Amino acid sequence: MPKRFLLLACLLALAMPAARADDDDLESTLGEVGEQYAIAYLTPLVHSFGANQNSGLFHTAHIPRRSLTFSIGLKVQGAHLSAGDQSFRRVLGNVALNDYLDLEPGDPYYGATGDVVFEGPTAIGDDEVEGTATAYVDGLPVYQEGTISGLVKTRWVPLVVPELQVGGFAGLKGSLRWVPESDVPEVGQTKLFGYGLQWSPNVLLPAWPVDVIVGFARQEIDVGTLLETEASSVFVAASKQYGLATLYGGLAKESSSVKVSYVEEFTGDPVEFEMDGVMESRVTIGTTLDLGVMVNLEAGIGDLAVYNFGLLFGK
Amino acid sequence: MRKTLTYLMLLFVSGWLAAGCESDETAPQDRLPLLESEDVAGQAGYLALAVVELAPLALEYDGGKADASDGNYAYTFAAGGPIEGTVLLHFELDGAPSGYDVADYAAAFTADASPLRVTIVEGGVPWLLAADLETDLDQGAGTAVAYGSGTLTVGGYEATWTLAAVAVADAGQWPASGELTFTNEGITATVTYDGDDTATVEVGDSAWVVNLNDGTLTPVI
């Protein structure tokens, strides 16, 4: 039962932007558009995936030299995206119109060259407004077709992951984020796996006034056959304990990518592309309160602003 | 106490920093395709066709086409034609509201939320034309001079236009004179009517002749 709950929590958060009142899922929505439209439509979602995964990787820099520590809990991450990310405009100049629009032989402007303008809500944009694909020839909008609406109108893209950490040997701490591969209805085989390692130089320099760690983490999330994500981070962090509270901050270099695969309905062609996350570095500040259970709040600031809430049992 | 204050202060600073940080925009926000002089000239040419329909409306209005409402008359273009929608007409004689058949002045305008829909290309995106025209009428001679301004939405482009002293006559005659100035994406085209079924379109040093029957543009060499 606990395993099922964790799985459900993760997938709910993962699938939240993909959920729609009419039960359409992200994959069938994307099936209505081609690769170039999908790239622009998914851009904010893709960037937030990696930024979320690389959040909440530490909640203290204190690692005992010879005292086993163990914690298990949930980390809830949320990327708070710009309002401008709720819509997009992508212009493809001087292209064959039928390569990007649902034109068929015999239609006016089939085979013509012009500019194609994709615009409308992104995946996190208005779910009641349909986007458009418009062909311009010599400055005249000669053809237009409706595309897809947003999935969920929100500026928050969340991610929930279970996390286990074990440390206290030679200043080392290992972490594991894991949800077993499971068949989720309407999503498919879905899994989450991540690991990380931290080391504290305080074991060599115990007189330092603050605790310090260096570490790395790597994670993968697969959502059916639609999305495969990878994220990794290398970081240095410091913390100081004040009574029940630990304040911490850190710097990280990170990377992420999302591979998207689906079938376009109109052509029947498979569409596959990979996008890198925009977040390459971040400054993290946060605090952890030890109230019997550890409550952790954190902000990660880089190209995106990502917030993290953790609830951890143990030490 | 000191530790608590330090903690609270750091927490405040942290919250302030976090709250003050916004995510960068990541979704593409490309500019619309750049328009060239000939593109704008072509758009101006098609608008010139629409003006041929709009400018003499007050002169040609016979009151049988629609009922008066709110003190204004309404003229509705037939559905399925190249222009669809309603133009409101307000008639005056010597500065006071009057009937359409005695007026020496008329305002012809579209309601704010109801621009005309102009179909330029079959199956294409209708243009949205908002107009605010004034017309000095000489009903005895069957002539009028129209001036005013408006906007034109061409796909994603938002253009503006003005009309200066366009002399029109009833009975289906072409505008005898006058200018239409059209600006889109910083490029300005000037259309000059000359009394026949063509007009000259100029953008900078370039010029074209537009056929007012179908909007065809021919460069002037």
Report residue B221's pLDDT band, with 50, 70 and 90 as the boundaries. Answer: confident
| CATH code, A281 | 2.40.128
Residues A169 and A250 in one domain: yes
Going residue by residue through chain A, which has 315 residues, state the pLDDT in tens, using 9 for 90 and above: 344 444 444 444 554 444 333 334 788 889 999 999 999 999 999 999 999 999 999 999 999 888 898 999 999 999 999 999 999 999 999 999 999 998 889 888 899 999 999 999 999 999 999 999 999 998 899 999 999 999 899 999 999 999 999 998 889 999 999 988 887 766 677 899 999 999 999 988 888 899 999 999 999 999 888 899 999 999 999 999 998 999 999 999 999 999 999 999 888 899 999 999 999 999 999 999 998 899 999 999 999 999 999 999 987
Residue B18 included in any domain = no
Q: Residues A227-238, buried b or exposed e (16+ Cβ, 10 A)?
A: bbbbbbbbbbbb
Instruction: Give every CB contact of residue B221 below 8 A, 6+ residues apart in sequence.
Output: none
Question: Cα-atom radius of gyration of chain B, to the nearest Å?
Answer: 25
Tell whether the torsion through CA atoms of A314, B5, B8 and B14 is positive or negative: negative
**Per the CB < 8 Å rule, is B7 touching A243?**
yes
**Which residues of A lie inside 8 Å of B (Cβ-Cβ)?**
40, 43-44, 47, 79-82, 84-91, 93, 108, 115, 117, 119, 122, 134, 136, 138-144, 242-243, 245, 247, 278, 285-287, 299, 301, 303-305, 307
> Which pLDDT score, from 0 to 100, does residue B176 have?
94
Q: Are residues A178 and A256 in the same domain?
A: yes
Distance CA B117, CA B126 (A): 6
Q: How many domains does chain A have?
A: 2
pLDDT at B61: 87
Burial B9-22 (b: 16+ CB within 10 A, else e): ebbeebeeebeebe
Which residues does chain A have within 8 Å of residue B43's beta carbon, measured at their own beta carbons?
Answer: 139-140
Q: Is residue A198 included in any domain, yes or no?
A: yes
Domain count, chain B: 1
User: Alpha-carbon distance A138 to A45, whole Å?
Assistant: 34
Per-residue pLDDT, B124: 81
Contact at CB, A285 and B17, closer than 8 angstroms: yes
Residue closest to A29 by CA, chosen among A150, A175, A114:
A150
Q: In what order do the strands lie in the sheet with A87-96?
A: A87-96, A113-121, A130-137, A140-149
Look at residue B5 in the predicted model and tell me its pLDDT: 54
A48 falls within a domain: no
Q: Which residues constitute the domain of residue B138? A: 36-219
Closest Cα in chain B to A78: B23
Point out the domain boundary residue: A149, A164, A193: A149
> Does the residue B51 lie in any domain?
yes
What interface predicted TM-score (ipTM) does this complex get? 0.85
> Domain containing A137: what range?
84-149
Q: Check residue B79 and give its pLDDT.
A: 87
Same domain (yes/no): A172, A73: yes
Q: Which of A149, A170, A191 is the last residue of a domain?
A: A149
CA dihedral A49, A51, A52, A56 (to 10 degrees): 160
Provide the pLDDT for residue A56.
Answer: 95
Spell A51-80 as b/e; 16+ CB within 10 A means b.
bbbbbbbbbbbbbbeeeebebebbbbbbbb
b/e burial code for range A132-144 (CB count within 10 A of at least 16 → b): bbbbbbebbbbbb
**What is the DSSP code (8-state) at residue A40?**
H
Per-residue pLDDT, B162 = 98
**Whole-number Å distance between alpha carbons of B51 and B47:** 6
- Give residue for tokens 């999935």: A151
Residue B27 has pLDDT above 90, yes or no: yes
| Span of A103-112, B30-39, B156-165 with lowest mean pLDDT | A103-112
**Pairwise CA distance, residues B15 & A273, whole Å:** 38
Same-domain check for residues A223 and A89: no
Which residues of B are less than 8 Å from A93 in CB distance?
33
Asked whether the beta carbons of residue B17 and residue A89 sit closer than 8 angstroms, the reply is no
Q: Are residue A161 and residue A145 in the same domain, yes or no?
A: no
Residue A41 belongs to some domain of the structure? no
Are the CB atoms for A160 and A12 separated by under 8 Å?
yes
Does residue B170 lie in a domain region? yes
- Judge whether A52 lies within some domain: no
Distance of residue B90 Cα from the nearest chain A Cα, in angstroms: 33
Residue B10 belongs to a domain = no
Tokens representing residue A63 in the block: 């690692």
Q: Of A294, A287, A288, A291, which is closest to residue A315 (Cα–Cα)?
A: A294
Same-domain check for residues A219 and A181: yes
pLDDT, residue A4, reads: 42
Residue B69 pLDDT greater than 80, yes or no: no
Q: Which residue reads 């990794």 in tokens?
A: A232
**Inter-chain CB proximity B33 and A139 less than 8 Å:** yes
- Is A299 close to B25, i.e. CB distance below 8 A? no
Tokens of A284: 């993290």
Beta carbons of A301 and B155 less than 8 Å apart: no
CA distance A305 to chain B (A): 5
In a domain, A115, yes or no: yes
Tens-place pLDDT, residues B79-92? 888 899 999 999 99
Q: Which of B1, B16, B23 to mutate to test the interface with A (most CBs of A within 10 A)?
A: B23
Per-residue pLDDT averaged across B85-111, rounded? 92
In a domain, A271, yes or no: yes
- pLDDT computed for residue B1 by the predictor: 54
What confidence score (pLDDT) does residue B181 get? Answer: 98
B17 belongs to a structural domain: no
DSSP designation for B78? P
Whether residue B9 lies inside any domain: the answer is no
pLDDT the model gives residue B14: 62
Answer yes or no: do A167 and A206 share one domain. yes
Interchain contact, B154 vs A140, CB within 8 Å: yes
Residue type, A284: T
Q: Is residue A128 included in any domain, yes or no? A: yes
Q: Is the pLDDT of residue B12 over 60?
A: no
Judge contact between A149 and A22, C-beta under 8 A: no
Same domain, A234 and A307: yes
What sign for the dihedral angle of Cα B94, B98, B99, B105?
A: positive
Q: How many CB atoms lie within 10 A of CB A174?
A: 14
pLDDT of residue A207: 86
